[in-house]
Each structure stands twice: as structure tokens, then as C-alpha cells.
Amino acid sequence: MSYQIPLQFQGGRLGNRFFGNLALHFLAMKHNVPVNYTRESEFQQLGLTFYKANPRPLHNPTSLEITDSNFVQLITQDLSGDHIFTLIEAYFQTKDFALFLAAHFARPEIQVPIRRANPLQDRYKNNNSVFVHVRLGDMTHACPTKDYYQTALKAISFQDGFIASDTSYHPLVEDLAAEHSLQILRTRDATEIELLQLASTCRYLVLSQGTFSFMMGILGFDTELVQWPQIKKVWHGDIFVVPGWKEVAW
């Protein structure tokens, strides 16, 4: 008798785990596949719950590899017979899955527990704030310059704002904060989950590149305008494709 070994995605930081955990969540729901979700307690703080399947005996299973090219098909289509799934070099950062997630998080029944889990829920539709995310770190060379942020900020009229970065003492962050009266949120001030919860309540979002910025946008249910930078150097999947988000040239 064969059993499916629990699948697990472990690559990258929180944003990558968001894509990986959700892809496996939908696969588990569709095919009753056991999954070990990573950093699950943090996602639970956001109000996200993942599907749990118990290992079951498989009868004459066939092997099936999960890849970036086939996983969306696997979570949307039925399969006949039993299968043993193997995860093969997949990061799940595809255009189709980004659109799938946008439709998923637009559903009121999905939004309700996320709103309730947010300790800042009173801010929803009750502020004129902007949240600016500046992704730097190991990808400083590939991320947008100050021109992008200046253009995006000049396009909106906000009362107050916040700026956060994985490199919060970088001159770009310091300059933007000083010039636009933004409060810098450093590691000592907020966890990644707390940053996401604050950002998702803001009226305006100015995103950077990367999956963590994508999370901010996709959880901003009441955000009036989400702006993201024209991608000049590709280092993640084609995920900034959500209808209504505004691309900004720089």
C-alpha cells in the first residue's frame, strides 16, 4: 500500500511562502493531498487557514510532478485515479496564479476572517494614509529608483503615511521619509505580519517589486489606488497583473 508523503514548500521569505502555501492549499483541497505548511502560525495571524488532509492509502497510484507549468491546471481540474505528487522546482509565481489569487481574495467570504484578524480593522475605509514599500536588500541593483517613488507619491493626495523596507536605513528610505513626512517602520517597530496588516488598511499603496509587495496589494481590499513599478529587471514571476493596479513608468 502506498501513501502520499506530505508536500512542503520551503523556498524564500514570507512572500514566497505565501505563494507556495496557497498553491499547495488549493492542490490539497482539490485532491485531498496532505501538506506541511511553512510559517503557518504567521499566516493564521493574518486570518488565513489552510486545508488539512489526512494521509490515506493509495491504490495503484501513478506519479505526477508538480511544476510551474502545470500546477494551475492541477488545482482547477479533476484527475481520475490515485496519484503520488512530487514538487519539482516550482515557485508558483505565474501570471495565471496571480490572477487566480486576485479572484480568490476578492470574495467576501475570504475577506471577512482576514478583516476580523486585523487588530487595525477600524482603519479600513477610515484614513487618508499612504503605505510605501521599498524592497532593497539583496536586490537593490534590480529595484526601482527614487524616480518611481516620487512619481507615485505625487499622483496622490494623502494626509499621512508610512514607509517600510528590508533595508530601512538606506538613504533612499531616509530621503523619501523626510521629503514626504512618512513614518519609517523599522524591524523593531513591527513584524512582517504587522506591516501587512497596517499596509492593507491604507487608502493608498505604493509597492516595490517582489512577492511581499504583492501580498500588501492583494490584501488591500479597500485600497483606493495600488501603484507598482514598471519592471525593468526581472527577478520574480509575472505577478503584478492584478486588474485595477496601476503600473508607473520610471
pLDDT, tens digit (0-9, with 9 covering 90-100), for 12-41: 999 999 999 999 999 999 999 999 999 999
User: Quick check: 232 and 162 in contact, CB under 8 A?
Assistant: no
Phi and psi angles of residue 7, each rounded to the nearest 5 degrees, phi first: -80, 155
What pLDDT is stored for residue 130 in this prediction?
98
- Where along the chain do the CATH 3.40.50 domains lie? 123-248
Nearest Cα neighbor of 47 from 231, 193, 205 is: 193
| Cα 176 to Cα 246: distance, rounded to the nearest angstrom | 20
How many residues are listed for the chain in this entry?
Answer: 250
**C-alpha–C-alpha distance, residues 54 and 3, integer Å:** 10
pLDDT beneath 70, residues of the chain: none
Question: Which of helix, strand or coil describes residue 2?
Answer: strand
What per-residue confidence (pLDDT) applies to 140?
83
The Cα–Cα gap between 230 and 43 comes to 29
pLDDT at 141: 83
Q: How far is CA 58 from CA 55, 61, 85, 166, 239, in A?
A: 9, 6, 12, 45, 35
Q: For the domain made up of 123-248, give the CATH fold.
A: Rossmann fold (3.40.50)
pLDDT at position 142, please?
81
pLDDT at 57: 92
